[in-house]
Amino acid sequence: MSASVVAVSRSPTHSFSKANELGIVLVAGRGVDGDAHAGESVKHRSRVARDPHQPNLRQVHLIHSELFEELAVKGYAVAPGQLGENVTTQGLDLLDLPVGTRLRLGTAVVQVTGLRNPCTQLDRFAPGLMQAVLGRDADGQLVRKAGVMAVVIGGGMVCPGDGIAVELPARPHVALEPV
């Protein structure tokens, strides 16, 4: 199965969930047009409180739809956009991509910057959900499954059904860390 975009979402406010759209426009260096988290500097409230001038490495949030299937087995009904992501993907292991991976989504290009660090807002959406999106690998290391963050390298339109092309960075690859 080839990788594709399942859904696209945005919200003009700092709401947790985002409304699904027929398409979103990604703006180079800023993020999703019309989304509260778009901008060159950080827009996430906790990061703004620490330093409002730091660069926005979280312009676009991507989650793999396979996570929703995993959560359904645990009793959580989650649909695209409900966890605050802008782009819901299918057929691509986002969590295993290295830092700097470029993804062509529709006519836009994003560059993966790191992992989304799950926060207590997940538990406000559904009690216990934060723990449900965390796991352990074979070595006992914490695995954060709540998606990846990216910056927009090339602007353009992204719509459900668009294919996703992956361009890995030069080696050595650097594993994703929370941003």
The parent domain of residue 28 ranges over 4-167
Residue 73: inside a domain, yes or no? yes
Contact between residue 58 and residue 126 where contact means Cβ atoms under 8 Å apart: no
Residue 89: inside a domain, yes or no? yes
- pLDDT of 1-42, one tens digit each? 699 999 999 999 999 999 999 999 999 999 999 999 999 998
Contact between residue 109 and residue 29 where contact means Cβ atoms under 8 Å apart: no
For the segment 55-64, the average pLDDT, to the nearest whole number, is 97
Residue 27: inside a domain, yes or no? yes
Instruction: Give pTM, 2 decimals.
Output: 0.96
Residue 102: inside a domain, yes or no? yes
Domains of the chain: total? 1
Contact between residue 142 and residue 149 where contact means Cβ atoms under 8 Å apart: no
Give me the CATH number covering residue 56. Answer: 2.40.33.20
Residue 176: inside a domain, yes or no? no
